[in-house]
Structure 1
Amino acid sequence: MVDYDGVRTTHFYGQKFPGGLSNSHPSLNIDAAALRQQVRVLSHTSTQAAALISRDVDTVIDSGLMLSPEPQTDILGITPEQGEAWAADVATRFDLWAQSQLSSITGTMNFYTAQRLMQRYLSRDGECFVHHSYSPDPRLLNPLQFALIDPDQIRENGFISTMGLLNLYEIADGIIRNAHGEETAYKVWYKTAGTPIVQMKNIPRIGKSGRVMMTHGMEYTYAGQGRGFSPLAVSIQDLENIVDLAMAQIEKAKNQSNIAFYTESSGDQPASDPFAGIPRIGEVPSGPAAAAFGNTPTPPAGAQNVTPESLEPVYDPIPNTTVRKPGSVGIFNMPSKQTIKPFPNTAPDVQFNAFVDAYFSYIAAANGQSVETVLMKFSNNYSASRATLILTWRIAVQRRYNLACYHLDPLYESWLQEEIAAGRITAPGWSDPRMRAAWLRHRWNGSGAPVIDPLKSINAAKVAAEIGATTLEDIAMEYSGASGKANRSKLAKEYDDLPTPPWTKTTETVTVEEDGEKETEKENKNAD
């Protein structure tokens, strides 16, 4: 506990029990860097932490969010057909750039694979930094290139502290801000290849040319927050408890499985030498190991380091041993009237899985997920499983929006303005902020919501649309992540391109039962 201008605070590193039972404090000085390191270690030591992060990335990103431009034609003064043609051209050009590994500065990932790493940073560290670079390299489809900057690279010189409450302290976290609190530059530490020297340079958020140079995304917990806090910070101690419990149960099971069998003496005779009576070859019993290291050691005449203790019989008392192979230990010839009883076979505890799942369910809920989704274990109840998937989908849509707001939208805008500057795409009125916003209108489409029974889901959506409980646009977004309006426009064109009728007539026999009598009728259906 320290005093600062009369305010009592404590550093919070994610541990609930630093010196005993948990206790409340008047205020928190949240150490973002310490929390980040704690969670990163857990992501490699805790299978539950790794599952939380991986499932979030898989659900939100899957194979990547794809651009779907939707220019606002009413504001732009163009026809819907012109807007659709412009959108198709932009989407195709952007996809070509996005699929190229040269879209990244390092050349090790493309735009879609980079999205997974962006979401991993947000899910694990609570923040993500993306650097924009502009290169005249003729190999590039567009001058724009990006690189992800590790949050550990953005810091002060050996010190970092991020306050989460009302800016009580001066923020010194590697980010330069103006008087309004707006981020203007970032202190990035890096090492030049071939040298051990670590250097620091300032990368501005907006370059001198007006181009975006860096974007910073994080989930805000406090209004005065300067750096991201890991979503797993509240669960650090709990995840470590599960790791400790699991390791203890596993070790217990291993120890109990090491003893293969034992014999119990039933008489009063003393223990005997099991090697007694074995024929000898000269001074050596049938095996040299039996002579030198048996129950009655008799080393050869030239043996070295022979002590009186090493010649003591070892078959009477049971020797201590280090078990190196599970299930390999047997106990023989115990002294009379003595019995060794193994530990009760209680490992793994029959309640272990139930306890861990119940404990972990609260950790998953604190991270906005369900334990069923994280573990990919669903019940046989259709309604319960569907409710779980719907909740997971809604959270994924929210996190997709955040990722797009932080990083994907600025990248698209930077890419588009480079295409316009090169004359490959025309966007009249681009210099007007309102017209630019109309040209930039778009959405990011990813995998649709998981569906347990597609026919049931579609029929339910159809009924909901008929009674006005939802819209076709919402149904398309939930089912496939696409735009319903764009789908209908494309389908109309595809139907026009197909032969007429698009498929042959079919005759279906329908059997109905009315007033206890069955009646069969034939119904001709034309699919077009």
Structure 2
Amino acid sequence: MPAYGTRSGAPLVLHILEQQRVNQTRGVPYLAPVIKPLKQLDRFTDSELAAAVIASFFTVFIKRTGSVEDGKSLADLEDADTEHLDVGNGVKLGQGAVVELPTGDDITIANPGRPNAQFDPFVNSIATFMGVALGIPRELLLKQFNSSYSASRAALQEAWRAFEAQQDWLVESFCQPVYEWIITEAVQRGLLVAPGFLEDPLARLAYLGAMWAGPTVTQLDPLKEVNAAIRRVDAGFSTRAMETPQLTGQDWETVHTQLVRERARRVADGLAPDEIVTSGLGSMVILDDDDTAPASPETEDANADA
């Protein structure tokens, strides 16, 4: 089967991969740069866990002058199902175990130094290196926002730059082509009426235009984000159609239609409809019909000067 249509020249197969060099036909897994450190970190954590468990065993050794059977366990301070760790020569370490040693034998307890005090800093350092390779800050990779608000917000914004690049790549290579295929087939089958779609390339481009909105960025302080969006709209730097997907992930048309429906429902039920008024400072005030919006500081200063 050819990859492109013989007559139309349109692609018949979508080969989705992020090419890093010319003529690359195989994609590189996302975790390829960190797969080896991840494996070593897994082994390290398993070893530290096993060492901590061994260090938690508490065993009492009794030495007598008479002869006893080698490695005989006399009693367990806990239940009989206590797990034991065989250290050789029939001697087993356990949770609260009491073991008699034969005459002439001695026991040397090694200090394992567990739990390891450097375990957490080491893991955080490895996570930082892996985050750099993946384009994800350490705070987001470990989901630990222990820094200040500014540092946490900067980490989220830096990560979101990488996420938006991935979203744009996915939309361009997969979402938009599939959408165009569906609309084109619907027009050809007569399911959609689109005059000039098949004849005029510019009309077809206008019909196939779409804006894709993905998941929204995590908001550490929603009030500040909303006020910033209102300021951008009031200043003309953005529109409600652009800000709504970034704040809620919803389409502005859908939100607006729902707001109109709710307002009509409130009026029909005899309730006062709420009006959303934005002041010059970007603050949002919810008013009823009988109320008036408070004057902004700029308006008050202008009136005072007059």
TM-score, length of structure 1 as denominator length: 0.43
Task: Spell out structure 1 runs of 4+ moving beyond 6 A.
Answer: none
How far apart, CA to CA, are the structure 1 residues paired with 2:106 and 2:235?
A: 78
User: Which digits, 9 at most, give the CA deviation of each residue in 1:388-440, with x for residues without a partner?
Assistant: 22233332222121111111111111111221122121111112222111100
Match of 2:144 among 340, 356, 377: 377
Is 1:225 equivalent to 2:24 in the alignment? Answer: yes
Q: Contact 2:16/2:173 (CA < 8 Å) preserved in 1?
A: yes
Q: Residue type matched to 1:442 in 2?
A: A
**1:256: Cα distance to partner?**
2.9
How far apart, CA to CA, are the structure 1 residues paired with 2:119 and 2:158?
A: 27
Match of 1:242 among 41, 61, 86: 41
- Report the secondary structure of 1:442's partner residue: coil
Q: Contact 1:204/1:213 (CA < 8 Å) preserved in 2?
A: yes
How far apart, CA to CA, are the structure 2 residues paired with 1:321 and 1:213?
A: 70
Q: Contact 1:264/1:339 (CA < 8 Å) preserved in 2?
A: no
Q: Contact 1:364/1:370 (CA < 8 Å) preserved in 2?
A: yes
Q: Residue type matched to 2:204 in 1?
A: R
Q: Which residue of 1 aligns with 2:209?
A: 441
Is 1:419 equivalent to 2:217 in the alignment? Answer: no
- Report the secondary structure of 2:114's partner residue: coil
How far apart, CA to CA, are the structure 2 residues paired with 1:410 and 1:334?
A: 77
- Report the secondary structure of 2:126's partner residue: helix
- For structure 1, the residue ranges without an aligned partner over 5 or more in a row are 1-202, 275-292, 296-317, 507-523
* CA shift in 2, pair 1:353/1:319, >3 Å: closer
Task: Give the aligned CA root-mean-square deviation in angstroms.
Answer: 3.5
Is 1:525 equivalent to 2:291 in the alignment? Answer: yes
Q: Contact 1:256/1:343 (CA < 8 Å) preserved in 2?
A: no
**1:233: Cα distance to partner?**
2.5
Structure with a larger share of its residues in helix: 2
* CA shift in 2, pair 1:444/1:262, >3 Å: same
How far apart, CA to CA, are the structure 2 residues paired with 1:212 and 1:446?
A: 25
Match of 2:157 among 390, 393, 396: 390
TM-score, length of structure 2 as denominator length: 0.70
* CA shift in 2, pair 1:427/1:505, >3 Å: closer
User: Which digits, 9 at most, give the CA deviation of each residue in 1:420-472, with x for residues without a partner?
Assistant: 12212111111222211110001222332211222222123323444556554
Instruction: For CA contacts below 8 A with separation 6 or more, give which structure has more relative contact order.
Output: 1
Q: Kindly, what percent of the aligned residue pairs are identical?
A: 24
How far apart, CA to CA, are the structure 1 residues paired with 2:236 and 2:187?
A: 42
Is 1:365 equivalent to 2:132 in the alignment? Answer: yes
Q: Contact 1:505/1:525 (CA < 8 Å) preserved in 2?
A: no
**1:220: Cα distance to partner?**
2.6
- Report the secondary structure of 1:332's partner residue: strand
Q: Contact 1:449/1:481 (CA < 8 Å) preserved in 2?
A: no
Trace 1:104-183 onto structure 2 (pairs within 5 A). Answer: none
Q: Which residue of 2 aligns with 1:262?
A: 60
Is 1:450 equivalent to 2:218 in the alignment? Answer: yes
Is 1:346 equivalent to 2:82 in the alignment? Answer: no
Q: Which residue of 2 aligns with 1:399?
A: 166
User: Which digits, 9 at most, give the CA deviation of each residue in 1:171-208, with x for residues without a partner?
Assistant: xxxxxxxxxxxxxxxxxxxxxxxxxxxxxxxx322244
Q: Which residue of 2 aligns with 1:461?
A: 229
Is 1:205 equivalent to 2:6 in the alignment? Answer: no
User: Which digits, 9 at most, give the CA deviation of each residue in 1:64-94, with x for residues without a partner?
Assistant: xxxxxxxxxxxxxxxxxxxxxxxxxxxxxxx
- Report the secondary structure of 2:212's partner residue: strand
User: Which digits, 9 at most, give the CA deviation of each residue in 1:316-369, with x for residues without a partner?
Assistant: xx953597xx84584522245754233324233121122112112111221111
* CA shift in 2, pair 1:498/1:331, >3 Å: closer
Give the count of matched residue pairs.
262
User: Which digits, 9 at most, give the CA deviation of each residue in 1:105-142, with x for residues without a partner?
Assistant: xxxxxxxxxxxxxxxxxxxxxxxxxxxxxxxxxxxxxx
Q: Residue type matched to 1:320 in 2?
A: N
How far apart, CA to CA, are the structure 2 residues paired with 1:488 and 1:398?
A: 26
* CA shift in 2, pair 1:339/1:465, >3 Å: farther
* CA shift in 2, pair 1:353/1:493, >3 Å: same
Q: Contact 1:449/1:480 (CA < 8 Å) preserved in 2?
A: no
Q: Which residue of 2 aligns with 1:136?
A: none
* CA shift in 2, pair 1:394/1:480, >3 Å: farther
**1:498: Cα distance to partner?**
4.2
Q: Contact 1:261/1:330 (CA < 8 Å) preserved in 2?
A: yes
- Report the secondary structure of 1:478's partner residue: helix
**1:387: Cα distance to partner?**
2.2
* CA shift in 2, pair 1:242/1:234, >3 Å: same
Q: Residue type matched to 2:191 in 1?
A: R
Structure with a larger share of its residues in strand: 1
